Amino acid sequence: MADVANDAAMTSTHTADSVVASCLECVDELKDRTAATVTAKVANRPPPKSGFGCNSLLQGVKFTEKLEQHLTKQGIFNTTKAMQIERQRIDRFDSPHAPVRKRWERLVHMLDGKATFKYLSVRTGTRFDERRGDLARRMFERGAVPAEIRGYVEAFKASVSME
């Protein structure tokens, strides 16, 4: 995660702990955002787009209210209760008293990844979207690409060259 939050020269401007701390500052918004996504999917309705709540940045109760309004417009009734049910499921994965990295590692498995990424980008002022591919490039440079992924890439390259 620290690699993603680096500057263009790939020198660290944040520690991994400082990045995780920034993520956890808005954990309630991230959980509610994910609860809204799950609520919409369960109702077979489109979830809020990944950038929902980012222009202008919504926080706290205002963010939750906007999510509920969005779900209501999608034809979902009793959105508050539906989101609370999903939020309780997400909260089961949270460990508020655990060390910050452990807590984040548990939560990240339950959060809506794209929406979380977008919200954190806006909230922290870090333009992660401009740095797409940096982590993959760094893994390649360090020889840290997992063998399974290397195998997929090689198979893809072989199939393309055969055409």
Every domain of the chain and the residues it spans: 16-131, 133-163
Distance CA 53, CA 67 (A): 8
- The pLDDT-based confidence of 9 (bands split at 50, 70, 90) is low
52 to each of 27, 38, 49, 66, 115, how far by Cα in Å? 16, 15, 5, 9, 8
| Residue that the structure tokens 């548990």 belong to | 106
Encoded tokens for 91: 């909260």
Over pLDDT 90: what percentage of the chain?
A: 42
How would residue 1 be classed by pLDDT, with cut points 50, 70 and 90? very low
Share of the chain above pLDDT 70, in %: 85
pTM for the model: 0.72
pLDDT at 129: 61
Tokens of 160: 């393309």
* Whether residue 116 has pLDDT greater than 80: yes
Task: State which H helix or E strand residue 85 sits in.
Answer: helix 79-91
User: Using one digit for the tens of pLDDT, what is the confidence trace for 10-20?
Assistant: 555 667 788 78
Other C-beta atoms closer than 10 Å to the C-beta of 101 total 14
